[in-house]
Amino acid sequence: MNSFLGRPRPTAAVLLVLAVATTATACGSGSGGSGTKAADSGTYTVWDPYPQFTKGSAWTDLLDKCGTAAGVKVKRTAFDTSDLANKTLLAAQQGNSPDVLVVDNPVVSTLAEAGVLTTTEENKLDTSKVDPNLLAAGQSGGKTYGTPIGANTLALYYNKKVLEGAGVDIASVKDWPTLTAALAKVKKAGKKGITFSAIGTEEGSFQFLPWFWGAGAQLTRLDSAQGQSALSLWKDWLKAGYAPNSVLNNTQTTSWQEFATGDYAFAENGTWQLANARKAGFAYGVLPIPGASGGNAPAPTGGEFVTLPAQKDTARYTTSQKLAGCLTSTQNLYATDTTLSYVAPTTEVQDKQVAAEAELKPWVAAVRTAKGRTSDDLGTKYPKISEQLWKAVQSALSGSKSPKDALTEAQSAAK
């Protein structure tokens, strides 16, 4: 039956999973709200994690526009990212879910496994144009539970002046050995090498994953030789003075602040720093994170999915699908993703973004090889694996354990 009846009710344990699963790139806080009941009420609720966009913003204007096109009024409520996930589970327990939910992509599988969301097979959302690697973040158990509204990911910002002063040609940086050689030249020239976030939270795992995946490692086997080589790379950088010890406590924000001093050659960070990069006061470029032996390493995807929570009144799905389809249409994605500083989830709109703004080209390249943290059908297993991964990174970089011992312990605990 295509309704919330018969679906498992989310438990309190799921709330704990969400505390780890949510990423740290959203900001702000929002007010509460509630779902609606009857399909003929004329009002449909939308919950999103964009409290920074208030009435009159491009985002809220789009919501109103989509409501008008569907012949209904949209009641929108914005929450902080982590608060949104918890509020959604509580609403589902009460049978009072919003009609449309825009939610951080690692949370989709958790909500899906809790029975909160409908599948695209049920709700008829069209995902045919979405890049498969981005859509995978919203898949669980062979089913798809929404469509991405956009994506962000990680790459390497670089300071052109620092590299030129050290005699480094950015075109020569193609893999780990050439990146490490560039860092050595930068240090010899009296500047600082690379900064990133290795903090003991999801941000630390998020930033380590491109190197972990770029070595060919898999999250189901943390202690593989490939995983050890990735952690050894970071540890060797700290030992050689190519990266500062502050990375152990750096968030992505404080890591960016270090790069913004103008003393560092490289910084691992995301599309959300583009506005700050333009204000930095020095010439910069962006390079997709290289894999161990070349090519672009898969970086984790950030960004949200538009989903349709399960409703007791299944007649509501038709209008909800119209609203979600409007929000993610080719016509609207370009403006929306520009507003959110996201790369679009479809090739057609990505190409349009690059044509309008050439500096987005490396970001589009990074997104096209990016990977969802819950992909490979990890689902709710990911938060536990991630926690052990960031603990291993902390242990190895602080010197309390070797990379091998840290990851062996992590793999044992993740089981």
Residues 119-130 have pLDDT tens digits of 999 999 999 999
241 pLDDT higher than 90: yes
Q: What are the beta bridge partners of residue 264?
A: 192
28 pLDDT higher than 70: no
Answer yes or no: are the C-beta atoms of 71 and 84 closer than 8 Å: no
Q: How far apart are CA 301 and CA 370, in angstroms?
A: 6
Q: In sequence order, which residues have a C-beta less than 8 Å from that of residue 36 and are 6 or more positions away?
A: 43, 44, 45, 75, 99
Answer yes or no: are the C-beta atoms of 393 and 231 closer than 8 Å: yes
pLDDT given at position 248:
98
**One-letter amino acid for residue 202 of the chain:** E
Q: With cut-offs at 50, 70 and 90, classify the pLDDT of residue 20.
A: very low
Q: How far apart are CA 207 and CA 106, in angstroms?
A: 15
Q: What domains can be seen in the chain, in order of their start residue?
A: 12-152+302-368 (3.40.190.10), 154-299+378-414 (3.40.190.10)
| Integer angstrom CA distances of residue 174 from 38, 181, 193, 294 | 57, 11, 16, 5
Closest among 148, 142, 107 to 20, alpha carbons compared: 107
Q: In sequence order, which residues have a C-beta less than 8 Å from that of residue 179 and are 6 or more positions away?
A: 173, 266, 290
Tell me the pLDDT tens digit for each residue of 117-159. 999 999 999 999 999 999 999 999 899 999 999 999 999 999 9
286 sits in which H/E element: strand 284-287
pLDDT mean over 96-100: 97
Q: What is the dihedral sign for C-alpha 222, 25, 138, 157? A: negative
272 sits in which H/E element: none
pLDDT given at position 341:
87
Task: Tell me the CA end-to-end span of the chain in Å, nearest whole number.
Answer: 35
Q: In sequence order, which residues have a C-beta less than 8 Å from that of residue 68 and are 6 or more positions away?
A: none
Tell me the pLDDT tens digit for each residue of 167-212. 999 999 999 999 999 999 999 999 999 999 999 999 999 999 999 9
Q: With cut-offs at 50, 70 and 90, classify the pLDDT of residue 40.
A: low
Q: With cut-offs at 50, 70 and 90, classify the pLDDT of residue 9.
A: very low
Q: In sequence order, which residues have a C-beta less than 8 Å from that of residue 406 and are 6 or more positions away?
A: 231, 391, 392, 393, 395, 396
**One-letter amino acid for residue 357 of the chain:** E
Global pTM?
0.86
Which tokens in the block code for residue 213? Answer: 């995946």
Q: How far apart are CA 209 and CA 389, in angstroms?
A: 9
Which tokens in the block code for residue 203? Answer: 């941000």
Tell me the pLDDT tens digit for each residue of 360-387. 999 999 999 999 999 988 888 999 999 9
Q: With cut-offs at 50, 70 and 90, classify the pLDDT of residue 339.
A: confident
Percent of the chain scored above 70 by pLDDT? 90
Q: How far apart are CA 62 and CA 335, in angstroms?
A: 9
The neighbour count for residue 336, using CB atoms within 10 Å, is: 19
Q: How far apart are CA 88 and CA 103, in angstroms?
A: 9
Q: How far apart are CA 261 and CA 264, in angstroms?
A: 7
